[in-house]
Chain A
Amino acid sequence: MTEFCLYRKAIRNITSGLQSGARVLFFSAVLLSTGVFSAGCRKQSSIDPNEPIVLQQRLRARVQTLDPMDVRDTTGTCVASDVFDTLYDYHYLRRPYEIIPMLAAAMPTISGDGKCYTIPLRRDVYFHDDACFPWGEGRLLRAEDVVYAWKRIADVKTRSVSWWILDRRIAGLDDFREYTKGCKPGEVDYDRPIEGLTAVDDYTLQIKLNRPWPQFIYWMAYIATAPVAREAVKYYGPEIGFHPVGTGAFKVDRWLSGAFVEASRNPRYYDRYPLDGEPNDIKDGFLADAGKPLPLVDKVVWRVVVEDQPRWRLFLKGLLDMVGVPKDNFGQVFTAGVKMSEEFTSRNIRMINFDEPSTFWVAFNMKDPVLGNNKPLRQAISYSIDRQKFIDIFFDGRAHEAYGFIPPVMPGYDPNIIAISNSYYDMAKARECLEEAKKIAGGEIPRMRIAIGGTDSTYRQMCQYMQRCMTAIGLDVEIDLFDWPTFLEKMRKGDMQMFIAGWTADYPDVESFMQLFYSKNIPYPNDCNYSNPRFDAIFEKISTMPDCPERTALYREAQKIINEDVPCAFAYHRVSFIMCHEWIQNVKPNSYKNEMSGWGMTKYYRIDPQKREEYKWKYR
């Protein structure tokens, strides 16, 4: 107090001799100099070792639900896969991709006929601590939790979007679904025994299939099949999607829909960093954390940033640890088309790129009266699309032209596919086919429509590009931009004539693509409404066959049939580009988990917060 009075007195002495105008100037100068001084003296903040290490992730859209059986989009899968563990998972480092046990204690024991799976479970897996459990303490995972989760998928009343995975697959599960149709909501007896889905004891699960299903192992690594605690479902009721209680490496603490999801480490998490990987992994530093308990960070924050440019700016400011490259920023990132520009190398930003198991195409509705019965018209459209130019414009030349549905990264890809394909650019052939098409149509081709499931500028431009290609050969084409739900609805109703669509394989098996053309999957996922008994026979045959050269030959045969019938004009296979800051380590891409902002991989990432702080300070 005394000190303050002395200061006041001193200031009064100085200012007393000044005129009022000069007094104002004096105080302004003091304030300004104080501001400048304090700004100049701002210190780079150092990291408190006790501060939790936070991973800063981003999401492209808001998370709709975190109930595994209802997760239907990439965003939800990203977060849910870090919160819920599945029975099996892909080995983080080994390539080619290998399925390894996660919640399971070992790989399944499969009976000779390929129908009976016996799966032992780990005995050290706990659910997250949550109010739904007695004393708020998570209990041990039991085989019954897997049985319960899968019964929930089958329950008609839950309206799970994942039923198609288990439909007609597990003995007795379809009967259970029929039984639930007659029950009132909340009255379904989940203790009702099912022949093909039983918990032999607390840690042994037995599954009997209706017929062999070699891809089953991949589905047990899929988020929809993750075990769920019955207590949580009972406690939270219809709100369970907003209160995830899983066994994963992270537990959701705060979730503001449309803004962010914040999760902290599960202190009782059982898994450890892999001890081995590919030969180069030691050199590349991927095994520096071998054997360490997971996760390697304390917290993860998924920030919802819908727009490309704000997401990109946040990354450059150091407020996101990794990000994809928006199409309009390729030029900024790369110089001369191949090397990263100086701006990024000087910031120690590194780029990871990998082929996605994805194919995109212009789909033709085979039930459409104009397109369905006019193969030369479909061929003409396919030949009219300049795929390389499309890739140059929208991906800065960084994608592959597609000649068939099997992406180059997947086993079964035929390098000579172009020889049997109708999906390549040839204007002369396009015009030739169009003349033939006009003869079939009995005159000029009526105006056609092409649609896309998005309304922003990139979608509009993609549609405009396709329109341009088709009008170049003399077709009259209009474009329709639909928001995603409307697009899906129209696709399911078969209301669209042509539309730009695509598929990313869920697992390393071409069957994932073949189901898109199987006639029993009309209208979804077979949205072309394509039907060919020869193709169906092959699909049915391979769906029960184990992986072998004969099966690969059948894939190629199926692809040949599709290329002959032209239910779609294949356009491109995507390549993913991920930009990472130097402080994030252990980022190894997985083609089957192409969105790297989670998807069960967050637990492996290591962060050096000091480096992040230095970067933020330098580029503030």
Chain B
Amino acid sequence: MSETTTQQNEPVSRGYWSDAFRRLRRRKLAMVCFIIVLIYAAMAAFVGIVETETFKKIFKLDVPIVRWNEQVGPSYQKPMAQYDFKPEQSETKVKGWSLFGTDFLGESTLRKTLYGVKTSMLVAFCASIISIGIGVPLGALAGYYRGWVDETIVWFYTTLGTIPYILLLMAFAVALRGREFFGVEIRGAPAVYLAIGLTSWVGLCRLIRGEIIKRKESEYVLAARAMGCSDFRILFSHLLPNVFHIILINFSLRFVSFIHAEVILSFLGLGENDKPSWGAMIDAARTELARDVWWEMAAATAAIFLISLALNIFSDALRDCLDPKLRID
């Protein structure tokens, strides 16, 4: 009886991750932001799936967002405005309205904004993966082996780091566009996320290197070494899982900056050409503001604002929950 009581009163032992997620769940605002991020991600995935030919053939679903380039009204119609309009394939006029107004070609701003979610999320996700794919192994190798490996990698990322980021990004975007690699031409979104991914791994690499240097003399590493584990196993099975939370935090924090980078590149005309993107919408609206066409700018800005805010709040909360030093109840 007394043994059972003792067991009931004992604090429940939680693992690192379950404890972190428990703390995260307690933060209401962070969870709201997480839901917003999930909605954006779901929207991106949804658009990505429904626009594939296979999906169209099997389900024969008509999703208006995919028809973003359909003319829904006359050029430059204000949000909620009613208008008479003759569709392309029709001889008769129909009445119409558009929630967020139309652009210079009479395309729906709402559809373009929603489609832009896919462009931005895809670019940010792929760029993050590339950035992690380069930054983490290089940082781990430099931190673990030190010596000439470290010196070479540090020299390399320091050199890259001295070049102003936007200029480097633009240079990569220009250099990659239209190039062929293994018979595949790099253009559109791949050119953008490659450019962002290849230029943004330095910070993460530096961070991981520092963490590995700090942890490589830890007891569990010594124990692994004593057990005869290979360097590769120590590095990738023991050390990296222990710094995974840093990668995760970094991923979420950088996601926002990658969305911004995509917007900047599209704004500068170096982004996606064929598909709608928020940057391209802002670029178009920049001059159109002079003719009082504000809705394209407003829609794209609002979309960026919402995802940036949600991701920032969520990332901060995630960092607080995952980093033992920052944990607060």
- 3 smallest CB-CB distances across A and B, nearest first, come from A455-B269, A328-B290, A457-B284
CB contact under 8 A between A479 and B291, given known A461-B284, A468-B105: no
Residues of B within 8 Å of A326, CB to CB, are 287, 290
B267 and chain A: residue at smallest CB distance: A457
The residues of A that contact B174 with a CB separation of less than 8 Å are 483, 486
Asked, given contacts A327-B287, A328-B288, whether A456 binds B105 with beta carbons under 8 Å apart, the answer is no
Q: Is the CB of A480 within 8 A of B178?
A: yes
Nearest-CB distance from A465 to chain B (Å)?
Answer: 6
Cβ of A312 to closest chain B Cβ, rounded Å: 7
Cβ–Cβ contact A455 & B105, under 8 A: no
- 52-87 of chain B: CB within 8 A of chain A: 69, 71, 75
Q: A480 touching B290 by the CB < 8 A rule? A: no
- Contact call A480/B187, Cβ cutoff below 8 A: yes
Partner of A329, one of B268, B280, B291: B291
Total A residues in contact with B, Cβ cutoff 8 Å: 33
The 8 Å CB contact of A472, one of B88, B268, B274, is B88
Could you mark each residue 267-278 of chain B with 1 if its beta carbon is under 8 Å from any beta carbon of chain A, else 0? 011100110000
| Residues of chain B at interface, number, CB under 8 A | 24
Question: B59 CB to closest chain A CB, in angstroms?
Answer: 22
Q: Contact between B290 and A309 (Cβ–Cβ < 8 Å)?
A: yes
Q: Residues 346-362 of chain A: 1 if any B CB is under 8 Å from the residue's CB, otherwise 0?
A: 00000000000000000
For this complex, 15 residue pairs linking A to B, each with C-beta atoms less than 8 Å apart, are A328-B291, A329-B290, A331-B291, A393-B75, A393-B105, A456-B283, A457-B269, A457-B280, A461-B104, A461-B284, A463-B273, A464-B105, A465-B104, A465-B105, A478-B274
Taking beta carbons and an 8 Å cutoff, which residues of B are in contact with A?
Answer: 69, 71, 75, 88, 104-105, 174, 178, 187, 268-270, 273-274, 280, 283-284, 286-291, 293
A480 to chain B: which residues have CB within 8 Å?
Answer: 178, 187, 273
Contacts known (A468-B69, A468-B105, A471-B69); A458 close to B287, Cβ less than 8 A = yes
Q: Are B286 and A457 in contact (CB under 8 A)?
A: yes
Distance between Cα atoms of A467 and B274 in the complex (Å): 9
Is A308 interfacial (CB-CB < 8 Å)? Answer: yes
* Residues of chain A within 8 A of B274, CB atoms compared: 467, 478-479
A332 touches B75 (CB 8 A): no
List, in ascending order, chain B residues with CB within 8 A of A464's CB: 105
Tell me which residues from 294 to 312 in chain A have a Cβ below 8 Å from any Cβ of chain B: 308-309, 312
A308 to B284, CA, bound (A): 13
- Cα A308 to Cα B270 in complex, Å, equals 20
- Chain A residues near B291 (CB, 8 Å)? 328-332
Query: How near does chain A come to B300, taking the closest CB pair, in angstroms?
Result: 12
Q: Quick check: B104 and A309 within 8 Å, CB to CB?
A: no
Pairwise interchain contact B290-A457, C-beta atoms closer than 8 A: no
| Given A393-B75, A483-B174: A455 and B268 interface contact (C-beta under 8 Å) | yes
Q: What chain A residues lie within 8 Å of B293 (beta carbons)?
A: 328
Cβ–Cβ < 8 Å partners of A468 in chain B:
69, 71, 105
CA distance A309 to B290 in the complex (A): 8
Interface residue A460 (Cβ < 8 Å from any Cβ of B): yes
A340 interface residue per 8 A CB criterion: no
Is B283 touching A332 in the complex (CB atoms < 8 A)? Answer: no
Report the bound CA distance from A528 to B284 in whole Å: 30
A residues whose Cβ falls under 8 Å from a Cβ of B: 308-309, 312, 326-332, 393, 454-461, 463-465, 467-468, 471-472, 478-483, 486
With A329-B290, A332-B290, A393-B75 given, is the CB distance from A457 to B283 under 8 Å? Answer: yes
Taking a contact as CB atoms under 8 Å apart, the answer to whether A460 and B290 are in contact is no
| Least CB separation from A471: chain B residue | B69
- Give, as a whole number of angstroms, the nearest-CB distance from B75 to chain A: 6
- The residue on A at minimum CB distance from B280 is A460
Which residues in A have their C-beta under 8 angstroms from that of B178? 480, 482, 486
| CB neighbours of A456 from chain B (8 A) | 269, 283
Tell me if B287 and A308 are in contact (CB < 8 A): yes
Indicate if the CB atoms of A393 and B104 lie closer than 8 Å. yes
- Bound form: Cα–Cα A486–B284 in Å: 22
B273 x A478 contact (CB < 8 A): yes
Q: Which residues of A contact B69 (CB under 8 A)?
A: 468, 471
Contact: A309 with B273, CB < 8 Å? no
Question: What residues of chain A lie closer than 8 Å to B270, measured between beta carbons?
Answer: 455
Chain A positions within 8 Å of B273 at CB level: 460, 463, 478-481
Expressed in whole angstroms, the minimum distance between the Cβ of B176 and any Cβ of chain A is 12
Interface centre among B270, B287, B293 (most CB of A within 10 A): B287
The minimal Cβ–Cβ distance linking A598 to chain B, given in whole angstroms, is 25
Q: How far is the CB of B39 from chain A (nearest CB, A)?
A: 29
Bound state CA distance, A457 and B280, in angstroms? 7
A330 surroundings in chain B (CB, below 8 A)? 291
Q: For A326, A328, A455, A472, which residue has the most chain B Cβ atoms within 10 angstroms?
A: A328
Question: Closest Cβ of chain B: how far from A483's Cβ, in Å?
Answer: 7
Given contacts A455-B269, A468-B69, contact A328 B287 (CB under 8 A): yes
Provided the pairs A393-B75, A465-B105, A468-B69 are in contact, do residues A460 and B269 lie with their beta carbons within 8 angstroms?
A: yes
A216, B267: Cα distance in complex, Å:
45
- B298 smallest CB distance to A (angstroms): 16
Residue on A nearest B71 in the bound complex, by CB: A468
Chain B neighbourhood of A328, CB < 8 A: 287-291, 293
Please measure, in the bound complex, the distance between the C-alpha atom of A455 and the C-alpha atom of B274, giving whole angstroms: 13
| Given A460-B284, A486-B178; 18 other pairs, CB 8 A cutoff | A309-B286, A328-B293, A329-B290, A332-B290, A393-B75, A393-B104, A457-B280, A457-B283, A457-B284, A457-B288, A459-B269, A460-B273, A461-B105, A465-B105, A467-B274, A468-B69, A478-B274, A481-B273
CB distance from A152 to the nearest CB of B (A): 33
Residues of the A chain whose Cβ atoms lie less than 8 Å from the Cβ of B286: 309, 457
Shortest Cβ distance from A454 into B: residue: B269
Nearest-CB residue, chain B, relative to A465: B105
Which residues on the A side are within 8 Å of B269 (C-beta)? 454-457, 459-460, 481, 483
CA of A307 to CA of B69, assembled, Å: 28
> Among A326, A464, A479, A481, which residue has the most Cβ atoms of chain B within 10 A?
A464
- From residue A470, how far is it (CB to closest CB) to chain B in Å? 12
Rounded to whole angstroms, the CA-CA distance of A328 and B174 in the bound complex is: 28
In the complex the two chains form, what is the Cα distance from A329 to B273 in whole Å?
A: 25
The closest CB in chain A to the CB of B292 belongs to A331
Q: How far is the CA of A327 from the CA of B290 in the complex (A)?
A: 9
Residues of B within 8 A of A461 (CB): 104-105, 284
A495 and chain B: residue at smallest CB distance: B178
Chain A CB within 10 A, most for which of B268, B273, B286: B273
Taken together as a complex, chains A and B put the C-alpha atoms of A465 and B69 apart, in Å, by: 11
* Cα(A328)–Cα(B269), bound, Å: 19
